[in-house]
Amino acid sequence: MKKTLYITALLVASALSAVAITSTFDPIDELNDNPEYAELKERDRELVRQEDSVSMVMAETRAQFRAYADSLANEGLRPSPEEYNAFSDRILDLEQQIFDIRTMRGDIISRINDLEQEWVLVLMNVPITDEFAMVDSVEFVVEIPLYRNLIDNHCIKDLIVSEDYAELCDAQTEDAAMDSLLVEYHALYNNMNSVAENYRTTDNEAEAEELFAEFAELKANAAVLAADIEDRWNHVLDTKYYAYGYVLEHNNHFDLLDSSSMEFAEMRRECSREAGYYAADALMHYALGRPTLRSFELDFARTMGLEEAADSIATLQREAPEVDYRLEPINLERRLFIDYQPVSIGRTNFYKDTNPIPDLKVYERGTIYRILLGKFRNKQPMTLFKGAQPLYIERTEDGYYAYYAGGFATRHEADEAQLFLKEKGFKSPEICRWQNGIMVNISVVERENGGAGVDIPVSGKRYMIKVVADSLSDDLRTIIDAEATRQSISKEANGFVVGTFDNRDEVELLRTRLAENTSADVELIEVELNE
């Protein structure tokens, strides 16, 4: 009787890279007689155990550090730079171990695939013998091995060109590292919160300046880290979506392609709706994008019959830590440690040789008014100033000694102090204003202008900038931080508002800078204050 051999499989010339054949006898048992094959299979199983162990250690390390940082934050503290660096180094070391294990597994699996392919090709050429004569036909089924790591499976590895597959492997490594980057960002954010709170409560100006500089550095580092998270996640999302979509299209699974396209579009719309409300949009993009990608990977694995990978992805979904992305933006307004003091007249002179008149302090930021009592070629006796206090002395550039009284926050307070000193016998006290370190003698300028004031009124116009956009880019935020340090950013229905500002020239300059760096509309808004 003529014997027929039926081979049911998808055998595509050189594309058959990893197979195991089942028939009336078990080919794996046959291959296990090959010492090299048996050793490779055992080594692969050992590497899988090692990868699971390292992954568990990494998860425990992240959880422990997160709990430690949270406990410190509850006490108003934060991890030290040394502790933070040690944590980062540990995570990077574990990630490198996982990468090395996967690299070794790739080499081993490649060799296992070669041995299995050689066995199939040899078997297909075995002559018909009495062993086969016992049955009318023998059916050989080619079974593709399944792997827990989705991208190791041959429906992906054998179809995608080597350059794209290498990029997919990079994306997989970046995907595994995302959680550690988020832990790093949360640690920075907690540090910023702690520093900001210390800055708001300290009464020491020198300490405040150090804290403000520390906050600015932390904020800059957080912005760089957020940009890194954004870039890495976009690469992961784009690379994986392209690779899986290519495989689905090649295998005519258009239903999953269509449904996944709608899910990703909805995810992006949700990201757009949430933009600008939190400290970092990058965290929000990852938090909303990760479940969408995992769901797509799970559907892909099940559609392609990759049950081991599907089980692994489902486990990742269940065990993945929740991403806390709803972090309030921390906007730290620079404090002005200006010593405002009213003028008083004492019965005796407050100042004397053992308590001399202090030098005038010029503040680099903010506005203060003082009353100029007079300028003299030489220092004057204390009795000249009729017991007025507080007093300050300044040696002017032309060599005179200028004597000032008081310190006032508004022009109205300065006017009242000037009138008070005139009533106390001072002949021509003059109002002087320091604004961001620059002094103007208001009284002199008004006399020269025929009484026209030069001061910014208590009531009048203020200015704001509005950027009409769904989100505010990191470039625009950097410009605002640099040009308008003390201004806050608020989200409105159709954009973002910066300010308010007192100086129109300052706001015009900022508006120009922003407009040069965005295609969105940048508007200057005037606000009329009531009397």
Domain match, 360 and 308 both: no
- Residue 40 corresponds to which tokens in the numbers above? 């490779």
- What confidence score (pLDDT) does residue 22 get? 37
- In a domain, residue 488? The reply is yes
- In degrees, rounded to 5, the angle at the alpha carbon of residue 225 between the alpha carbons of residues 223 and 227 is 70
Structural domain including 364 reads: 344-448
pLDDT one-digit tens code per residue, 224-248: 999 999 999 999 999 999 999 999 9
Tell me which of 16-20, 175-179, 188-192 is least confident. 16-20
Residue 289 has pLDDT above 90, yes or no: yes
**What average pLDDT does the chain have?**
81
- Residue 389 corresponds to which tokens in the numbers above? 């206090």
- In a domain, residue 395? The reply is yes
DSSP string across 172-189: HHHHHHHHHHHHHHHHHH
Tell me which of 19-23, 140-144, 470-474 is least confident. 19-23
- What confidence score (pLDDT) does residue 137 get? 45
DSSP string across 334-389: PP-----B--EE-SS-S-BTTBPPPBPPPPSSSEEEEEEEEEESS---GGGGTTEE
Domain match, 139 and 24 both: yes
Domain match, 185 and 112 both: no
- In a domain, residue 338? The reply is no
Domain match, 131 and 159 both: no
Q: Please report, for the domain that includes residue 523, its CATH number.
A: 3.30.70.1150
Domain match, 196 and 259 both: yes
- In a domain, residue 339? The reply is no
**Total domain count for the chain?**
4
Cis (ω within 30 of 0) for the bond into 457? no
Residue 408 has pLDDT above 90, yes or no: yes
d(CA 252, CA 179): 34
- Quick check: 265 and 318 in contact, CB under 8 A? no
Domain match, 362 and 312 both: no
Q: Of 448, 473, 497, which residue constitutes the final position of a domain? A: 448
Tell me which of 28-32, 128-132, 148-152 is least confident. 128-132
pLDDT one-digit tens code per residue, 442-497: 999 988 876 554 444 433 466 788 888 878 887 888 888 777 766 667 776 678 88
- In a domain, residue 454? The reply is no
Alpha helical stretches, state H, 125-204: 130-133, 154-157, 162-201
Domain match, 134 and 180 both: no
- What confidence score (pLDDT) does residue 486 get? 60
- In a domain, residue 337? The reply is no
Domain match, 361 and 441 both: yes
Confidence of residue 255 (pLDDT cuts 50, 70, 90): very high
Q: What is the pTM of this model?
A: 0.55
- What confidence score (pLDDT) does residue 528 get? 57
Domain match, 486 and 418 both: no
pLDDT one-digit tens code per residue, 81-127: 777 778 777 877 887 888 788 788 878 887 877 777 777 666 655 55
- In a domain, residue 361? The reply is yes
- What confidence score (pLDDT) does residue 144 get? 60
Domain match, 348 and 437 both: yes
Confidence of residue 407 (pLDDT cuts 50, 70, 90): very high
The more confidently predicted of residues 420 and 481 is 420
d(CA 92, CA 90): 5
Domain match, 312 and 173 both: yes
Q: Which residues, 6+ apart, have CB-to-CB distance to 481 below 8 Å? A: 219
Domain match, 426 and 480 both: no
- Quick check: 18 and 112 in contact, CB under 8 A? yes
- Quick check: 351 and 359 in contact, CB under 8 A? no
